[in-house]
Structure 1
Amino acid sequence: MDAAEVKELIDEAHEHEHRKRGHDDGEGGLKISTAVYISMLAAVLAIVSVAGSNAGKDMMASAIEASDSFAYYQAKTQRQISLRLAADELELLSAGMPAEGQARALKKSAEYRVNADKMEADDGKNSRKDLLAKAKAAEAKRDHAATQDPYFDFAEGLLQLAIVLASVFAITNMGFILWVSRVLAVVGLALAVDGFTLVYPLPFL
């Protein structure tokens, strides 16, 4: 083996080592980018999970508040009707009473009517008007949270699948798995954003 052949073998060895290092560097960079990608998905998933949990809690709390307010409203309504019926009865009965008894009956009837009117629109927070407004507001909040909830549920599921597939890619280096993960991540992120804004309501959710 002459000097020229030795030089050729040395050059080939250097070229092979260079290619090997380049491949290792590229694979290392890909693993780092995949790790960053998975970390970002995990962060988004945590936000979506909290948002979905809050939507569920708001839905339950608002449903209870609406039910309680309507129950109180109905009780007030029944009480108001009872007072007005009592006032009507006293006024009818007073017609056959002596003057003194008639005056007392009419006075009591007027008190009943005043109390019934106060229940309709009192300055406090427990009037029929206020209770009805409170119940409707709670219903609106419940319906809003109920509309948001499925968006967050589907987004959470898609993001979890995207993380799983990205983890599989980190082991197998199969490119199509990473692309599927990215597609799922984009769809999941879009659903999450739509869940917050409800700009584009989806008919199947």
Structure 2
Amino acid sequence: MEAAEVKDLIDETHERERAKRKAPGGRHGESGEEGGHGVKTSTAIYISILAAVLAVVSVAGSNAGKDLMASAIEASDSFAYYQSKTQRQISLRLAADEIELLSAGMPADAQAKALQRTAEYRQAADRMETEEGKNSRKDLLAKAKAAEMRRDHAAAQDPYFDFAEGMLQLAIVLASVFAITDKGFILWTSRALAAIGLLMAADGFTLILPLPFL
């Protein structure tokens, strides 16, 4: 529910109340009007607060969804690069072993060159494992695992924000209905839904109390 929709609900409520006061049999008298105006003001403030909280929850839910997608892509890319490095490393070591075996029957000069090439291949394979700042296998694996952790955290947050957003929207709608009907149970239902929405939003930010159905 957007801010403009909330404003429309409040304005519509005010218009209906004015029409009811002007209609025959409507509420008259200064005390009645003052009491009605007080209820209207408190309801409008309540709806506005819920709308502000809803906006925050909406942004948080949107950010969680974006983090989920971005982290999933980063983890996939890092693992793909890690696997590519691994295959390259294996290929270098296999080539080094093969050259070393073949060099046994070579003349001395050729054997020396072959062993030198073997050493170069093995050094290149070792550099792929731990070379700092060069996207080594170690660095890529760490990046992939960190991205996976961010992805899992965002995936855990997202349903809480969705649930909280739904509860807050229902609370706003019921508060608007109360402003029109003056039925107390509708207001208390709205407050109960708002409380559930706030708790779900807080749990979405902190993940203190994981819920099994989310």
TM-score normalized with structure 2 length: 0.86
Structure 1 stretches of 4+ with a deviation exceeding 4 A read none
Which structure: larger Rg? 1
Match of 2:129 among 117, 120, 125: 120
**Aligned 8 A contact 1:59 1:146 in 2:** yes
Unaligned 5+ segments in structure 1 are 1-18
Deviation, structure 1 residue 26: 1.0
The Cα offsets for residues 120-142 of structure 1, whole Å up to 9 and x where unpaired, read as 00012400000000000000000
The Cα offsets for residues 75-113 of structure 1, whole Å up to 9 and x where unpaired, read as 000000000000000100000000000000000000000
Aligned residue-pair number: 187
* 1:64 paired residue number: 73
Match of 2:182 among 163, 168, 173: 173
Q: Does structure 1 residue 192 correspond to structure 2 residue 175? A: no
**Aligned 8 A contact 1:125 1:131 in 2:** no
Unaligned 5+ segments in structure 2 are 1-27
Identical amino acids, percent of aligned pairs: 76
Give secondary structure in 2 for the equivalent of 1:76: helix
User: What is the root-mean-square deviation in Å for CA atoms of aligned residues?
Assistant: 0.8
* 1:133 paired residue number: 142
For 1:135-174, list aligned pairs within 5 A.
Answer: 135-174=144-183
Deviation, structure 1 residue 23: 1.9
Distance 1:161 1:199, change over 3 A: same
* 2:87 paired residue number: 78
TM-score normalized with structure 1 length: 0.90
